[in-house]
Amino acid sequence: MASTLIELCDLISTSVRTIDSRCNALSGTFPDLNKHKSTPEDEKLTRDDEIMKATSILVSAATQLIATVQLPARSLLDTSLAFLSSAAIAVVAESSIAEIIREAGPQGCHVDEIAKKNGMSALNIARVLRPLATQHIFREVSPDVFAHNRISTLLDTGKDYETIRAAPEDKHEGAVGYSSLIQLNTDETFKAAAYIKDVVIDKDHSEDELNTPLNKAFGTHIDLFSWYELPENKVRFKRFGVAMDASRRMSPQGAVLQGFQWSSLPKNALIVDVGGGIGSISLEIARSNPDLRFLIQEKPAVVQEGIKYWEKELPDALPTGRVSFAEHDFFTPQPVKNADVFMVRFICHNWSDTYLLKILKHLRDSAQSTTKLIVMEHPIHFVCGEDETYKHIPGAVPTEIPPKPLLPNMGAVDLTSYLIDMQMMSLLHGCERTFPHYWKLLQKAGWEIEAAHPLPGSLIVQLVAKPI
């Protein structure tokens, strides 16, 4: 019998050959990590279904191989210090180092030149860039000279540094890349996460919705969304909206269209996007389904941002009535009684079971017998494999089993889901949930899940439910 090391190496080599063969079949070359910037052709190639499947096996096997051969103490130490990499990225994102390096050109930029522009210490610039370059984020092309690679370029807003310096509050407006999402993760999430331990082991106050790590970190006793609306958080509030749109862009183009069949809805069917932010997901559906109507419900401040977003992206939608916005608090009764679909995307994970039940029950109370509820979330998997109790529900239990000796949840490939769960623990009293957890909650609220649609190339799953 082959050893685990040999089995993992075989999976890696087989996956690499699969990727190389598929690239040849598509007349492409897998992009070099050291490329200054990815191209649309690179994106299309790396998003190919066969290549993504092989990549997932490769990443899972390679990570498990490292864990197997590395000294256990080293693995533990590296994990305990991982937050310092987040701190380094926070410095880079906040000080617009990525933009300065891009403006210097592919040959890179000396830390002294970066310092002249952003006013930082050249030594400190090198100290935050070097651990990132060691993890293949940026390149140190010669002593103290740093250049972009395919990963680091995603920190770049695409804007001129002088433009950002003149109006830092508008840094993320219309930006490319994922800088807004990275700064959300490395600012409020990062600071709040330092207090997770203090909150979760506090037996007396662990269930207090307003006793979150974020509350402790920032000395407040209001929920996250009310906190964002405070005057001193104006920049964070604006950045949060852009970050949510950036998170949508991390999924392949059109992924939301490959689960539930939106085209199966009757003409003029009404989709109510509950807590829909600026309506970026509704926009993607609307562009491919011109006969559907959308009502996006949000808080007043977000509604105004959403209107501006749609006026720019799909100008005829608002005047023609294809889309409308309404102010609504989803903890109060749902006023719409004729919805064909209630859509809730990344809402459930924000709240504890107690509060989520209130939201779901309000939707059930306003549903028609034919109304569908579509929940879009990052359901987390059991590391040991899924609960077979729910295999009768299409999509609830994966049909493909990872090859041995990989973990049943694909290991590192699935890690982001659990980290997002920890993020919810940091910012709110919400959580990511397993499928059985969602099943029981929805049943309690009067809904029955009839299908689950994992969206290709994404961590997102669409749970489709009907009224009981």
Active site residues: 349
Whether omega before 333 lies within 30 degrees of 0, making that bond cis, reads no
- Cα gap 297→326, rounded to integer Å: 5
Helix-, strand-, coil-residue percentages of the chain, each rounded to 5: 50, 10, 35
CA distances to 130, 225, 282 from 183, in Å:
19, 17, 25
Helix (H, G, I), strand (E, B) or coil at 341: strand
Strand partners, 307: none
Other C-beta atoms within 10 Å of 82: how many?
9
Whether the Cβ atoms of residue 155 and residue 179 lie closer than 8 Å to each other: yes
Number of helices (H), then strands (E), in the chain: 21, 10
Rounded CA gap, 137 and 148, in Å? 8
Order of strands, sheet of 461-467, starting from the edge strand that comes earlier in the sequence:
323-327, 293-298, 270-274, 341-345, 372-377, 461-467, 447-454
- Residue where the block lists tokens 């608090």: 329
In order of 158, 378, 380, 398, the CA distances from 454 in angstroms are 32, 9, 12, 9
Q: How far apart are CA 93 and CA 161, in angstroms?
A: 12
Could you tell me how far CA 17 lies from the centroid of its own chain? 30
∠264-265-270 over CA atoms, to 5°?
A: 160
Structure tokens at 37: 């910037």
How far lies 226's CA from each of 86, 301, 326, 428, in Å? 26, 11, 18, 12
